Amino acid sequence: MKTALQNSGLKELDYSLNPYLGCMHRCLYCYAMDMTKDARATQDWGSTVMVKKNIIEVLKREIPHRRRGIVGISTITDPYQPVEFRYRITRRSIEILLREGFRVSIQTKSPLVARDLDLISKYRPMVDVGMTITTASPDKARAIETQSPSPEARHRALSALSAAGIRTWIFFGPIIKGFNDSDADIEGVVRIASDTGSRVIFDAYSFYPKSASLMIEGGIRPAAPDMDAIGPRIRRICEEYGVECNSEDEDYVKENARINRTLF
């Protein structure tokens, strides 16, 4: 590999860093199947993971030539999937980035992120951690996030991070029509946010051919809900629980405002 930091297509991030290709969590809806170029990591989704063993050396060479900014870890893989327990590439990457003055935004479904609390706490103002929680229902989670840690395990990890003073957030998405778009589904996720002091960022399902096929095989209809109707319901429930929330589209504005307050 030639570069460790990729320019991000997400407005709230300057760069992305993906230490692995493929993901052992095997979420049926994951767009990474359609975004990952290495066919070896996508042909049998959830079974094969490519480890970027030289990414640390590449990152060290690259950093002196990069403008400081926000690095998303990660955008097309889960940085704390099971292989991270062995290789520790995510931890080593984060340590280098923070030491060199980059801000880091972590998104995962794994409680393994709490392993790195010692490092994250040391650079607390420069790090936030997001946990994807599509549903608080263990049964629904098993159906669509087939090899992922349970919602309860993610809840516990968020609690530990928040208790240590880390800024935490929940990505409630993708919201799938008829699957996790009821008031009960929304309230289950918002309760976790309230309990952990986390912000909620929500987003609708987007169609991608490979993931849609996997969803259909799993008996789940790949369809987006009417967000004009659901957005106000999410906001109302968040308000009832005293939880800050915004859509993925609004996140750039919120994040810019927060960073500007922090820096200036």
Q: Is residue 183 part of a domain?
A: yes
The residues facing 66 across adjacent strands are none
Sign of CA dihedral 249, 255, 256, 261: positive
Q: Is residue 247 part of a domain?
A: yes
Q: What is the mean pLDDT of residues 247-257?
A: 67
pLDDT in tens, 79-128: 999 999 999 999 999 999 999 999 999 999 999 999 999 999 999 999 99
Q: What is the number of domains present in the chain?
A: 1
Residue 64: CATH number of its domain:
3.20.20.70
Q: Is residue 115 part of a domain?
A: yes
pLDDT in tens, 138-156: 999 999 999 999 999 999 9
In the prediction, which pLDDT does 261 show? 40
**Alpha helices, DSSP H, located in 53-116:** 55-62, 83-87, 89-99
Q: Is residue 1 part of a domain?
A: no
Q: Quote the CA–CA distance of 53 and 51 in Å, as a whole number.
A: 6
Burial of 37 (0-12, 13-18, 19+ CB in 10 A): exposed
Question: Residue 263 pLDDT more than 50?
Answer: no
Whole-model pTM: value is 0.94
Q: Is residue 148 part of a domain?
A: yes
Q: Is residue 212 part of a domain?
A: yes
Domain that holds residue 18: 6-263
Mean pLDDT for all residues in the chain: 94
Q: Is residue 209 part of a domain?
A: yes
Nearest to 152 by CA among 164, 141, 166: 141
Q: Is residue 112 part of a domain?
A: yes
